[in-house]
Amino acid sequence: MALRYDCYLFDFDGTIADTGEGITKSVAYSLEKLGRPVPDQAILDRFIGPPLHDSYMQYCGLNEEEAERAVALYRERYTDVGLYESHLYPGIAMLLRALHRAGAWVAIASAKPQFMLERLAKHYGIDAYLDNIVGIGLDRHSADKRDLILRALPEGTEPGRACMAGDRRFDIGAAKALGLFAVGADYGYSEPGELLAAGADAVFEDLYAMAECLLDGQAPRGVFISLEGSDGCGKSTQIALLKEHLQRRGFDVVLTREPGGCPISERIREVILSLDSKGMSSECEALLYAASRVEHVREVVEPALKSGKIVICDRFLDSSIAYQAYGRELGEAFVRQINEPATRRAMPQRTLLLELNRDQARRRMANGAPLDRLEIEKEDFFARVQQGYDALAKAEPERIVRIDASRGIDQVFSDVRAAIDGLLDT
């Protein structure tokens, strides 16, 4: 991917992360401790981004000594609690990842204390995509944003080969003063017209439009993940945990399933799994799965990937190979051929195979929902299905990660998280 700039700098509060809750609650806490009135929310929101010491003096009328005490009280709460009352904006991680993978220098330049920035970057997992993190020391009350930008850039960088994205006039003014391309993140905490008035070269109301600009019109393609395994292996639980984990890391996540995922495919699902469909031929079953899949990819999977989202799918092609090619003994060549209209457009980059023996799976399913048409099959059918999964895992060990699903939920998820983080951080 060819990029317009060599270096991409980002402010943190209001640009990478929505940190408003933790900041404003900690400001209110500090003022209450000082016995000073707490301003309304509109004033509290102005503390997000600029140096705290200056904001206390400007918005609360504190003198130098009182502002120093307020900052100390603020950090008393924020360091332990407020720091984590935040979330990354959905899609920011994919943007940072795309810039990093394209070979750009990616850094944070923020008036937030350095140790807090480092802790948050690690907490959210975006440290893997950053070449530099620059903040202020705890002995500093405020900072010149221009100095932070210069420290964040590699030595010898030409200003015209770098850009700075931020949500406040301080970010834009400093970038322009140094000759950088200044990008306004209007989805953050700027006031109406603030960024344009500060001289921003471009202003974006949402992160996806900003990402398209920073990537020179080349939107990052998302990541396709599938989970496989027998019914009862715990896929649904692990998918929910994985979605929460990836959203916390700043990725936009789409959950879907097969057969199903869109209206037409869900209707096909009903036909395939209904007990009323007993006697359906194996070929018809395989073709219905393939038809459902091609519609699902066209309607859900491909659009999500094109917009830079992570797609987590409960089953995909591997299920058809295991259940129809092996279980129904239709042969792998036939199943792959009828699924080619779908798979040429999208295939998972990482598949997690949750392995659980048949006896354990049956016990887990004993008190669950009524069994469907496939779940009532005989044991020799499921033995062939397991042979299919085993053959797939041996043939594609880089894509398919085998995970022992007989353990506790947290133990299984530890392996799930490691497999996906390893994919995203390379």
Say if residue 167 is in the same domain as residue 48.
Answer: no
CATH number at residue 233: 3.40.50.300
Alpha-carbon distance of 38 to 32, in angstroms, equals 7
Whether 20 contacts 41, CB under 8 Å: no
Please check whether residue 123 lies inside any domain of the structure. yes
What is the rounded CA–CA span in Å between residue 28 and residue 23? 9
> Do both 240 and 159 map to the same domain?
no
Return the pLDDT at 400.
98
Q: What is the DSSP string of 368-424?
A: SSPP-TTTT--HHHHHHHHHHHHHHHHH-TTTEEEEETTS-HHHHHHHHHHHHHHHH
For tokens 């834009």, name the residue: 172
pLDDT digits (tens, 9 = 90+) for 104-116: 999 999 989 999 9
pLDDT at 64: 92
pLDDT (average), residues 382-406 = 97
Residue 262 is given by DSSP the state S
**Contact partners, residue 401, CB within 8 Å, separation at least 6:** 350, 351, 352, 353, 415, 419
Identify the pLDDT of residue 151: 96
pLDDT > 80? residue 47: yes
User: For the chain, how many structural domains are there in total?
Assistant: 3
Q: Is residue 235 part of a domain?
A: yes
Distance CA 253, CA 91 (A): 9
Assess if residue 2 is contained within a domain.
no
- In terms of residue numbers, what domain contains 61? 20-84
pLDDT range class, residue 244, cuts 50, 70, 90: very high
Unique residue bearing structure tokens 């000759």: 179
Cβ atoms 181, 163 nearer than 8 A = yes
Which among 84, 115, 131 is the end of a domain?
Answer: 84
Average pLDDT estimate for 281-305: 97
Same domain, 67 and 31: yes
Query: Which residue shows structure tokens 């006896």?
Result: 359
Look at residues 38, 56, 84 and tell me which one is the last residue of a structural domain: 84
- The CATH number covering residue 126 comes to 3.40.50.1000
